[in-house]
A and B are shown apart, each in its own frame.
Chain A
Amino acid sequence: MSKLLIFLTLIPLLPILTTSFSPENPSSRRVLVLLDDLALKSSHSVFFNSLQSRGFDLDFKLADDPKIGLHRYGQYLYDALILFCPTTERFGGSIDLAAILDFVDSGHDLIIAADSNASDLIREIATESGVDFDEDPAALVIDHISYAVSNTEGDHTLIASDEYIKSDVILGSKKIEAPVLFQGIGHSLNPSNSLVLKVLSASPSAYSSNPKSKLSNPPSLTGSAISLVSIVQARNNARILISGSLSMFSNRFFRSEVQKAGSPTKHEKSGNEQFLTELSKWVFHERGHLKAMNVRHHKAGEADEPTIYRVNDDLEYSVEIYEWSGTSWEPYVADDVQVQFYMMSPYVLKNLSTDKKGSYFTAFKVPDVYGVFQFKVEYRRLGYTSLSLSKQIPVRPFKHNEYERFIPAAYPYYGAAFSMMTGFFIFTAVHLYSK
């Protein structure tokens, strides 16, 4: 179903990647940051500094700045976009909903931070990405059990969550010890949507409603169905981070100490910094970005790639897979990469073995079926960009002279035929000339 139509070898795929995500020159990655208020620049400076220290070139603009634009002369000016402007109803300049979606659809990354009272525009962008914020504009996520203990007994909207997605690729291999502080709006995901993932979810006791009004109806969003932070990896591998809270990016949350209600341990520092830094690494393709190249196949014992195989040929297939580490392409090591020899259904499905230097290879026998086959590698793993390689190769039946000329089992028949012929010849001669 989700199989791509285009027969991409990786060579034509590469230029597509480089137009959007350009790991060749990571230092010049430009990010447009749209803010409601330039004060955010300083109040969220820790987060921004961590990006800048990793080589991103941040361009801060007010969201309603009439001069902003995402592209000029058909070229995108930025590689990524950060929307820290939850209340903006209209962007300035040429940016609107469609422009942002086009930006994503052409392979660029996006970070959205909403908040309570998020504008329709921000909600609409989130919805288009597959995330539905609580419809009540004043609603906040409330948790009376696992709230963050603070000096003032508040309305329990500042919650501490440690229900992360279990993925080293997305959140880094170092375990996040401290819970993450969150204060903002919750959202839900469509369970059938395979592109969007819940990175930080609320505890089972959370619900979403307006803390200032009395709860008359049961809340529409409850429990761990509420997602606090979600990520989207679009089919073109553009990545989107959606958070219901802008304040979780702030210096104050980064530095505050945190104690989860009911928990004896008190952490010096909240998990926000580690969580969001690691997440931003993922969103900006510093982790989990795979590329495959040099797809090769040939008959066993030969080096050249044939234009056609014969049934029952022995062949060898190899592909190289690398992961972007933020600075260079490192060999990707896994034992679950599989190749299919596919014609309407996989005839051969084999695990590829790797030499731990990025090269994956296997050898197999072409099935005894002719037709137009494809070498397919469909590699989809949590957090990694999806690899979808297919290479078409026809398989022909035996040629007329590739069968055995004499079959041992048929020698009685050959004998019968030739003895019959000689016998007939002798008989004719005798019959005609005996008189």
Chain B
Amino acid sequence: MAASETSNGTALRYAFGNVLSFFILLLIGVLAFSIRLFSVIKYESVIHEFDPYFNYRVTQYLTKNGIYDFWNWFDDRTWYPLGRVIGGTVYPGLTLTAGTLYWILNSLNIPLSVETVCVFTAPIFSAFASWATYLLTKEVKGAGAGLTAAVLLAMVPSYISRSVAGSYDNEAVAIFALIFTFFLYIKTLNTGSLFYATLNAIAYFYMVCSWGGYTFIINLIPMHVLLCIVTGRYSSRLYIAYAPLVVLGTLLASLVPVVGFNAVLTSEHFGSFLVFIIIHVVALVYYIKGILSPKMFKVAVTLVLSIGLVVCCAVIAVLVALVASSPTKGWSGRSLSLLDPTYASKYIPIIASVSEHQPPTWPSYFMDINVLAFLVPAGIIACFSPLSDASSFVVLYIVTSVYFSGVMVRLMLVLAPAACIMSGIALSASFDVFTRSIKFQLPGVKGNSQVDAGDTSSEGVVAQNEVAKTDKNEEALKERPSKKNRKKEKEHVEKPFVKAQIKKRLLVLPFEASIIAILLLILLGAFYVVHSVWAAAEAYSAPSIVLTSYSHDGLHVFDDFREAYSWLSHNTEVDDKVASWWDYGYQTTAMANRTVIVDNNTWNNTHIATVGTAMSSPEKAAWEIFDSLDVKYVLVVFGGLVGYPSDDINKFLWMVRIGGGVFPHIKEPDYLRDGQYRIDSQATPTMLNCLMYKLSYYRFVETDGKAFDRVRRTEIGKKHFKLTHFEEVFTTHHWMVRIYKLKPQKNRIRGKAKKSRSKASSTTSTKRSETQRKNPWH
């Protein structure tokens, strides 16, 4: 009688808790979506930055021409004259997702533009990502931790920076796919169900479609499997969680055109295959152990071990030989720079030149994950009590992602979910301890604590709920190997729960300390919320194509980029080629619809080096290079007038390095005075005569009479000069974008100058024969 009453009560409380969790999750989704709308409210509904413009253009193509044309798209408007096979070189996940969204909305007669769908894809998927975080953390440490982690993830600044409305990039959907794949892996691990294993492979496929970061999954999961095997936690559930993932996942991954045979050929994937072999060996050993007598088993072990070792050695030797025969040892440049952080800056300037490939600074950790950095260690401790397969996975996840984030600032994004999960676990565990301490010490609730717990606070319920679930999980884990017992699970839950309560009564903290600790934790959480909202509103909401600045006379808006691109699209021929540094390639093709020489997909180093060489060469040589590429307009970004620091002059050393890496007549020391990069009167003549300097500072002296560069904070070295092979055709309002046209060849060639007046423009023909050598295409 009493027992049934209690079970009724718990069922009701579970139902109540579930409904509450559902609404909390809904609110978390709304929070995740709406906190990312600052950019739309403060600026406008516009695609941000560089890569999103490419994705937007691809999505437009997809919605217009359909999936088969997209798959086979050969784009002749980028990388002129090489072109780019878009279908085979993009991760199609994001585009297909947004395209599907667009298609669904339109078939429901909701006429949104492609741009709107693209702008809001990232916020929608961050809501999904926080729900996936809930699911994952719930599998690891119960619903309470799940909800906390979901809240934290919904507003973690690191993730916001990549998923504000308009930031239409691969990471927007990839983080959701990453977390969801991990969730399904843990779910399979906990249940041992083939159904979830298959879902897991499909989720992995979606991740492969979405982002190159899928290699993180295909390395982390094998690492975890290996960890489980080594620590003696091998089980059939582990086998079911892993083996189908490798087989199905690899098959599916190789269906993605951009991955293709890489899924079996590159060393990023070898770890998973090795572990695949190991888990089979281990499975075989367990199986044989089951059917043989212990004595026979020992004999078998020695036999198998000796043969197996020989085979393994042979296989490994073959693999090593294969891998070593390739110049990069089979690793792609970006992955190598993950393992050896100095690799990229030493060997691949084009990777090192991207700011998001640089190691982060300490403040950026505080900026991007804020208080989570302090909560993570607590979370790790919480994961060890008790250590389950699932919790060991998240520990492994956080450890590896911390390492990777230390290598590349961009991978902070992978760290953020891990940090949220860990902090969620930590916060929830500590709330659990403190509220329990309070509950047991509150007068009048000692006898009937279970009933009143629901009234004390909702957090209590959640915590309590979570305790129950954790216990249930623990119990389940112990029981699971014997399949038949699983059905009885529910009946088992009650008894250990009471037992656990008695045990936990001993862990009670002083009443006042608990209250203060809870207050402090809430304060910490509040601080995190304030910081995140600030980051979302101020730091990460700028679309970077429209800039603003506050000064004493109010708000200034710099819309120079779009001004320049629309000038190009209205004033140049459709087939004209525009050369610029690769950063602006995607924007030029998407916004101005003009052919570019290089763009942000840095697939051809030589081509980029050619443009870098042209920018670092004197005018005549640069003209030759651009002319050989049929370039008609050259676009440079110049921040010296308004103080916009990420302009081409500040990127110029990278152009020199990348250009010099392929064409050795460009030497970096020529551009540096005593190792210092400067553009003032101390600058080297090579620097003052190179094309980039001239195009940036042409007529600059006319602005203020002194030619004071507000980014470099100095007066420029050479103020008055004329352009001989280029003519200025357009300069935006704040001089941020300057467009030059290549002058056509002279109609006549002048004879030898005899008068001093014309000496300056003389001997063009002799100069030509000199410079022709430097043109890399001849």
Contact = CB atoms under 8 A, between A and B. Distances in A.
Contacts of B72: 396, 399-400
A410 interface: no
A370 B73 CA distance: 12
A107 B544 CA distance: 48
Of A5, A7, A236, A238, most buried by chain B (CB within 10 Å of CB) is A5
A109 B203 CA distance: 74
A2 interface: yes
Interface range for A: 35 or more
Given A344-B628, A372-B82, A128 B750 contact: yes
A7 B575 contact: yes
A127 B753 contact: yes
Contacts of A193: 749, 751, 765
Given A130-B751, A235-B745, A372 B772 contact: no
A392 interface: yes
Interface string A1-23: 11111010000000000000000
Contacts of B746: 235
Of B74, B745, B768, most buried by chain A (CB within 10 Å of CB) is B74
A371 interface: yes
Main secondary structure of the interface of B (DSSP, over half): loop
B436 to A, nearest CB: 49
B247 to A, nearest CB: 12
Given A1-B768, A1-B772, A371-B81, A127 B749 contact: no
B748 A232 contact: yes
Interface in A129-177: 129-132, 135
B489 interface: no
Contacts of B744: 4-5
Interface string A338-381: 00000111000000000000000000000000111110000000
A343 B81 contact: yes
A211 B81 CA distance: 61
Nearest to A106: B747
Contact of A392 (B575, B628, B758): B575
A372 B751 contact: no
A193 B772 CA distance: 15
Contacts of A105: 747-748
Contacts, number: 107
A127 B754 contact: yes
B83 A128 contact: no
A144 B768 CA distance: 39
Contacts of B257: 400
A3 B76 CA distance: 21
A195 interface: yes
A308 interface: yes
Given A1-B778, A394-B83, A397-B85, A104 B765 contact: no
A279 interface: no
Nearest to B85: A397
Interface in A119-133: 126-132
Contacts of A1: 624, 627, 768, 772, 775, 778
A294 interface: no
B71 interface: yes
B573 to A, nearest CB: 9
Contacts of B81: 343-344, 371-374
Given A193-B765, A371-B83, A127 B74 contact: no
A188 B308 CA distance: 87
Contact of B777 (A131, A344, A371, A397): A344
Contact of B751 (A101, A104, A128, A343): A128
A7 B575 CA distance: 9
Nearest to A123: B754
Given A7-B575, A371-B81, A236 B627 contact: no
Given A3-B628, A128-B750, 18 more contacts: A1-B624, A1-B768, A1-B778, A104-B747, A104-B748, A127-B758, A132-B751, A132-B754, A190-B752, A193-B751, A344-B629, A370-B83, A371-B81, A371-B82, A374-B81, A394-B83, A397-B74, A400-B87
8 contacts: A1-B775, A7-B630, A101-B748, A192-B769, A195-B748, A370-B83, A394-B76, A400-B72
Interface of A: 1-5, 7, 101, 104-105, 126-132, 135, 189-190, 192-196, 232, 234-236, 238, 308, 343-345, 370-374, 392, 394, 396-397, 399-400
